[in-house]
Amino acid sequence: MDSLLSRRLLWVGGKGGVGKTSVSAALAVLAARCGKRVLVASTDPAHSLGDVFDRQLGDQPTCLLPGLDAMEIDPDIEVEAHLARVTSQMRRFAVPRMMDELERQMRLSRQSPGTQEAALLERISRMITDEGSPYDLIIFDTAPTGHTLRLLSLPEAMSAWTEGLLSHSRKSEELGKVLRHLTPRKGQDIDSPFTDTTRSEMDELDERSRNVAETLLVRRRLFYQARRRISDPEHSAFLFVLTPERLPILETGRAVKSLEEAGIPVAGTLVNRVLPAEAGGDFFAARRSQEAEYLERIDHELAAWPRPRLPWLSSDIQGLEMLEQLASALESALNNTD
Ligand SMILES: Nc1ncnc2c1ncn2[C@@H]1O[C@H](COP(=O)(O)OP(=O)(O)OP(=O)(O)O)[C@@H](O)[C@H]1O
Ligand SMILES: [Mg+2]
């Protein structure tokens, strides 16, 4: 697992309440301790990253330690910014009599399912493709498993949504043809989909259509690039946190499989809240024997991935002092797995 912190992107996921936020924060402390410039960003609309650090966090990075910044992405800011961008693109394209309909669609979009995720995905995509990023590592503390999986599989749904708005236009068929033609195919260089041939395709469109086509292509390219980064095992990986209990084991097994099917690399799992040896008494003896069965099951069912174990600490995790302690426990857990 030594490569865990050497990648540029780390996604921390898992079932609700297993310790994703605490582990993300502790990993960030550990990375900063190793001299990395790290950003830990919460993508869960129900943020608790600030609570774990015991600091107020906002939508832009706040420096918490030398080399360590943290932020909580605000989905509402993203939705408004996203809709404003789409509206201004569409306004360029729409004829005046379509404007009322356009405004109505935008009002509906604000409330429709998937809008927050689409906007969040666009923000994440910009963060992970930013060539001027000052960070060696970005750790994303994600929402419980299901949501994250949906989020990562959204690019196609997202472009369908954006381009669906064009369906009222009599130009849409022509534009659709150009977009299809310009969409990079497998094996084609997605960094430069605007080739000479495609330029001439664009020339056939009028000024307004060309503007929209270009904006949509820029977004499409952003998603392609983001997805390419997320699927590159050298660049990015997913870490599943779970506890030695039945439901997290079942859910992790399913989630690992579905991420792999989606071509998203999994770095490993982290078994959190393992009873420490010193926990005594009948109650803990009973828990420990059940835990032993589950740990064995994890070793069996998740044998293909590293499975470091993190002890259950004597209190919950709050503030930098506790996080330093959890980071040290993490460091020895990761070293023991190498
Ligand atoms: N190793 C640990 N030792 C002691 N307490 C822990 C440990 N890991 C997590 N906790 C505590 O467990 C609770 C849940 O942790 P956390 O909020 O990090 O989980 P989460 O997976 O991010 O939850 P959610 O799904 O709600 O985002 C918190 O009170 C946290 O302090
Ligand atoms: Mg959390």
Q: Is the CB of 48 under 6 A from ligand 1?
A: yes
Euclidean distance between CA atoms 11 and 85, whole angstroms: 27
Examine the pLDDT at 291 and tell me if it is beyond 80. yes
- pLDDT of 128-144, one tens digit each? 999 999 999 999 999 87
Q: Is the CB of 317 under 6 A from ligand 1?
A: yes
Residues contacting residue 65 through CB under 8 Å, at least 6 positions apart: 29, 32, 320
Q: What is the pLDDT of residue 148?
A: 64
Q: Is the CB of 20 under 6 A from ligand 1?
A: yes
Q: What is the DSSP letter of 98?
A: G
Which residue, 230, 299, 235, is CA-closest to 269?
A: 299
C-beta separation of 89 from 209 below 8 A: no
DSSP string, 266-294: EEEEEEEEEPPTT--HHHHHHHHHHHHHH
Widest distance between CA atoms in the chain:
79
Q: What is the pLDDT of residue 267?
A: 92
Q: What tokens does 122 get?
A: 């666009």
Q: How many CB atoms lie within 10 A of CB 246?
A: 12
- Length of the chain in residues, anyone? 338
Q: Identify which of 239, 252, 317, 323 to mutate to test ligand 1's pocket (most ligand atoms within 8 A of the CB).
A: 317
C-beta separation of 239 from 269 below 8 A: yes
Among protein residues, the one with the nearest Cα to ligand 1's atom 12 is: 19
Q: What is the DSSP letter of 8?
A: S
- pLDDT of 10-58, one tens digit each? 999 999 999 999 999 999 999 999 999 999 999 988 889 999 999 999 9
Examine the pLDDT at 151 and tell me if it is beyond 90. no
Q: Is the CB of 45 under 6 A from ligand 1?
A: no
Euclidean distance between CA atoms 236 and 232, whole angstroms: 6
Q: Which atom of ligand 1 is nearest to the CA of 313?
A: 3
Q: Identify which of 11, 15, 22 to mutate to test ligand 1's pocket (most ligand atoms within 8 A of the CB).
A: 22
Q: What is the pLDDT of residue 197?
A: 43
Q: Is the CB of 17 under 6 A from ligand 1?
A: yes
- pLDDT of 256-268, one tens digit each? 988 888 888 999 9
pLDDT, averaged across the chain? 82
What is the set of domains in the chain, with CATH numbers? 2-54+63-75+231-337 (3.40.50.300)
- pLDDT of 100-119, one tens digit each? 777 777 777 777 766 777 77
CA 135 remoteness from chain centre: 16
Q: Is the CB of 115 under 6 A from ligand 1?
A: no
Examine the pLDDT at 186 and tell me if it is beyond 80. no
Q: What is the pLDDT of residue 111?
A: 75
Euclidean distance between CA atoms 84 and 310, whole angstroms: 44
